[in-house]
Structure 1
Amino acid sequence: MIALLPLGTVDPQAVETLLDRAFGPGRRARTAYKVRLGTSEIPELSFAAVGDDGSLLGSIQAWPVALECDGGGSVPMVMVGPVAVQPDRQQGGIGRMLMERMLEAAEASSLPGADALMLIGDPEYYGRFFDFTAEKTPGWRLPGPFEPRRLLARGAGVPTGPGLLGARLRRAA
């Protein structure tokens, strides 16, 4: 049996080890890390998959980002990912379970940007199973290299038009 828990209830070092195993030690050089630099994951939208023995099998994180529109204004969004699964447990539906749980939480959320999700990922997978598309992302710029076909979004709040995507820093209340 696999339990889906808030990511904050799991040892942060176990999450880092999982991410290294799933994506390799060079993962921090990826553009996605540059987009969310300086912010922290959104607890309400970040989850862990834990086995019966308490072992971490997978994780999903979501991050506050914004599109700084070329014409002015800033649109809050949520960056989804990374979605990581222990290499020996991949292809078993754990990543899909995590993604479905995060999408349910986003749909029920009143957080700014929860209606405008984006990610960098495989369009065939994320489009087929989760309705992410590159339809509204042409013209978006990121602080590093990326394949435009892999820049995907979904939700009623997704902006159109050119702009720079970057971290949306949370301010103390």
Structure 2
Amino acid sequence: MVQFVPIAEISADAVEQLLDRAFGTDRHGRTAYRIREGAVALPDLSFAAIEEDTLIGTIQCWPIALCGDDGRDVPLIMLGPVAVEPLRQQGGIGRLLTARALEAVDADPASPAVMLIGDPEYYGRFFGFVADRTGGWRVPGPVERRRLLARGTHAPLGDGLLGPRVVAHV
């Protein structure tokens, strides 16, 4: 039976090893990593999937911001990566992890909007992510525009650059 625990209960090395297996050791050069560079994952919104004491999946959420061309700084939460042990992919673990993270976000009505870079057919169908509000967003690297997604009507409209948002942890 799959159990979900806060990712803070899992060793950072185990998480990194799973991410390497799921995405490759060259993953750090991807645009998503550059958007959140220097940020620390939000522990209350990041989870691990464990089965029989074995790590089989993780999801992390990150504090980022849209630095608007109009001078405003709009906080956002970046969802991902969603990593699942390669031999366990296609079994719904990623969907369960994503649902768990979004439930945690939704539990706080003051939470910022959530964005991600991902498959619009999948994330739109299951979680309501769309590219309707992200057309003016810029990122520090290449991205397929249709894969730059946000969830909810409180996602900001307008032009700006996505980047890390430093959050003090007490």
Q: TM-score of the superposition, structure 1-length normalised? A: 0.95
Identity %: 56
Distance 2:57 2:72 in 1: 36
Q: Report matched runs for 1:1-173 at 5 Å.
A: 1-52=1-52, 54-109=53-108, 114-171=111-168
Distance 1:70 1:129 in 2: 32
Moved over 2 A (4+): none
**Mind listing any 5+ residue stretches in structure 2 that lack a counterpart?**
none
Any conservation in 2 of the 1:115–1:156 contact (CA below 8 Å)?
no
Distance 2:16 2:169 in 1: 26
Secondary structure at the residue paired with 1:14?
helix
Any conservation in 2 of the 1:85–1:95 contact (CA below 8 Å)?
yes
Q: How many residues align?
A: 170
Any conservation in 2 of the 1:8–1:43 contact (CA below 8 Å)?
yes
RMSD: 1.2
Q: CA deviation at 1:157?
A: 2.4
Q: CA deviation at 1:115?
A: 3.6
Q: CA deviation at 1:172?
A: 6.0
Distance 1:168 1:110 in 2: 19
Q: CA deviation at 1:11?
A: 1.2
Output the amino acid matched with 1:44. Answer: D
**Mind listing any 5+ residue stretches in structure 1 that lack a counterpart?**
none
Any conservation in 2 of the 1:141–1:165 contact (CA below 8 Å)?
yes
Secondary structure at the residue paired with 2:64?
strand
Q: CA deviation at 1:72?
A: 1.3
Distance 2:169 2:105 in 1: 21
Secondary structure at the residue paired with 1:25?
coil
Q: TM-score of the superposition, structure 2-length normalised? A: 0.97
Secondary structure at the residue paired with 1:137?
coil
Provide, for residues 20-77 of structure 1, a one-character-per-residue CA deviation record: whole Å limited to 9, x for no partner: 000011100000000001110000100000002x110000000000001111110000
